[in-house]
Amino acid sequence: MSVVARQGFKYSIIGYIGFLLGTVSAIFIFPNDFEFYGKLRYILPTAEMLVPFVVLGISYSNVKFFHSVEKDGKKQNMLSLSLLTVFVNFLIFAAVFFVLPYFYPKFRHSEAWKIKEMILPLILILSFCAIFNKYTSNYKRIVVSNIFDNLFPKIANLGAFCLFYYFALSQKVAFAFFFGIFALMLFGYIYYTNKLEKIHLDFNTDYFKKDDLWKKFFNYSFFGFLGTFGNYLAINSFMIGEFMGMEEVGIYSVLYALISLISIPQLGLFNISAPIINKTLADGDMEELDRFHKKTSLSLYFLGAVLFSCIMVGFPYLTQFMPKNGTMLREYEPVVWIWGSAVLIDLATGFNGNIISLSKYYRFNILVMLLLAGLTIGLNYYFIKNTDLKLIGIALSTAISLSVYNIIKIIFNYIVFKVSPLTIEMIFVSIICTLAITVAIVLPNFNSNLINLIYKPTVVLILIYIGNYFTKIFPIEDYLNMKFIKSVFKFK
């Protein structure tokens, strides 16, 4: 098995372990105290949202220019100057952060200001980690970085929560553990990078001054910076924490963990599809790209719809097995319906954005990402200030902005590339799943929530299987056989 294949397989395994750890924790542990969990879930997304203003896209340039600087023996020079620039950017950012209250006094009452002792150092650590992450990816080693980026944050959340709730330690101790995990992550990155190749700090600027290389470097970094504003999940967590409270952040995060189950089929899609998209774009074979686009999108939509249907009919009974606050989640069931539907629409569009980002029109992706961020912020603010919908309003905001974002990309790809992810089969999938959900809901309930949790989703699966058997929408038989299962564990 090649290095790329081994790394890809291990990367996927780490991704699924992290996903499972985060989901199980969110369902069965974190609902014990939404208030404290909300604080943890406010700190990290807020820091992640502000990191781009410190990194300014420099991490992406460490990939773009790596091979050219490698030929000239200036890899360490690029890494050193990148880290130095990020540190200087952070000092400027921190100065602006502390000066801002003098121009905007209300900022002193924000949650970000109240816990700045946690957020600011975390921004610096995550900024350095972003540089090391992209730099080490040039060595085709992505597994260790995935452990840092995927598992460490979940361990930080889970460990800090358990110290506070189960061991009754103070919030300061829990926060110290939380911050310590990220500090450990940075030291891990430094150690691993040094292991790949000995780090030699070189802050000489002569190489980048030659032929105005620094201008090309920062120009590319700027476009990378603009493309980082589409993190609507971090925006939501920040705005909920500022305008609603930490308890709502905790509830929102648990609901997101449930809804993200729908996105399981999408894990690893880009890594698998990127070479095929690249080839068809290079060959100008739009018919093949359209065929592959439709096939992939239908598969994602079908599998996502099946998971969504099971979640819909099982959610009321699942909340009964959650800790004491499960009933609070039951009150926000409309959020699952609304937000889940938006995720399904996102799945139905397949790798829409990847087609654009891998083509010469990649800058258009930046524009729609900025639109997504602006629309999310604007709609969130409207629903928070002008309605009493609370998290339902946030769900509506996310659904609207994400749908507009995807529709624009569908239209763009159809006009420019003559490709579209939409097929008539998707309508049949929607009808079959809707009927299955309806039948499962109207069926009588047993006295046991465990039986209901098992039998209702089972009914959904049976009805969808029967509907698919007659319509032949998705080739289930290609996957429900021993040959395929064996192939999953066989690598060449």
What pLDDT, on the 0 to 100 scale, is given for residue 428?
95
Distance CA 185, CA 174 (A): 17
- Contact status, residue 330 vs residue 319, Cβ threshold 8 Å: yes
- Assess whether pLDDT exceeds 50 at residue 211: yes
What pLDDT, on the 0 to 100 scale, is given for residue 267?
65
* Residue type (1 letter), 293: H
Task: Name the token pair of 89.
Answer: 């950017």
- Contact status, residue 43 vs residue 119, Cβ threshold 8 Å: yes
* Residue type (1 letter), 395: A
- Assess whether pLDDT exceeds 80 at residue 264: no
Residue pLDDT, tens place only, 59-73: 989 988 998 899 999
User: Which residue has better confidence, 23 or 445?
Assistant: 445
Q: What's the CA angle centered on 253, arms 249 and 258, to 5 degrees? A: 150
- Contact status, residue 354 vs residue 274, Cβ threshold 8 Å: yes
Question: How would you label 105-140 residue by residue, b for 16+ Cβ within 10 Å and e otherwise?
Answer: eeeeebbbeebeebbbbbbbbbbbbbbbbbbbeeee
Give residue 480's pLDDT band: very low, low, confident or very high (50, 70, 90). Answer: low
Residue pLDDT, tens place only, 142-160: 678 888 988 999 999 999 9
Distance CA 54, CA 121 (A): 12
Cβ-proximal residues to 231 (8 Å cutoff; 6+ apart), any chain:
48, 49, 373
Give residue 4's pLDDT band: very low, low, confident or very high (50, 70, 90). Answer: very low
- Assess whether pLDDT exceeds 80 at residue 358: no
Distance CA 111, CA 176 (A): 18
Task: Name the token pair of 432.
Answer: 């079959």
Give residue 269's pLDDT band: very low, low, confident or very high (50, 70, 90). Answer: low
Give residue 174's pLDDT band: very low, low, confident or very high (50, 70, 90). Answer: very high
- Assess whether pLDDT exceeds 70 at residue 423: yes
What pLDDT, on the 0 to 100 scale, is given for residue 19?
78
Distance CA 76, CA 201 (A): 6
Give residue 345's pLDDT band: very low, low, confident or very high (50, 70, 90). Answer: very high
CA-derived radius of gyration, the chain: 24
Q: How many CA atoms lie within 13 A of 400 on its CB side?
A: 15
Q: How many CA atoms lie within 13 A of 414 on its CB side?
A: 11
